[in-house]
């Protein structure tokens, strides 16, 4: 027997399906580091976020994020192109250190 989302709502575990899904995603995000890394690589590849932002999202160091990207054959974009990008990278790095 497999559990259905509505079973959790009907049993009173969650008030609604959206809350149950959000909780499940939150647990998945905390329990499976590879999920965070995969999402960070995807965002780096498709949205042109910085390596620092990708590292913060993945929960890894800047250097480790570079290694992951190289291992996955993702070309690195090094160095900010604008002052705003440089400030955003600095903020992300500060968040990683705290």
Q: Is the pLDDT of residue 79 over 80?
A: no
pLDDT in the model for residue 85: 83
24-28-32 Cα angle (round to 5): 170
- For residues 77 and 81, give the distance between their C-alpha atoms in angstroms, rounded to a whole number: 10
pLDDT at 98 over 80: no
**pTM assigned to the model:** 0.68
- 20: tokens are 């149950």
Q: pLDDT category, 82, cuts 50, 70, 90? A: confident
């Amino acid at each position: 027997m497999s559990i259905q989302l509505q079973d959790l709502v009907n049993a009173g575990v969650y008030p609604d399906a959206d809350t149950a899904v959000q909780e499940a995603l939150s647990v998945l995000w905390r329990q499976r580091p590879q999920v965070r890394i995969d999402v960070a690589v995807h965002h780096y590849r498709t949205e042109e976020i910085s390596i620092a932002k990708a590292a913060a999202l993945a929960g890894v160091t800047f250097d480790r994020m570079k290694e992951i990207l190289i291992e996955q054959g993702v070309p690195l974009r090094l160095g900010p192109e604008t002052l705003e990008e440089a400030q955003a990278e600095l903020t992300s790095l500060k968040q990683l250190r705290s």
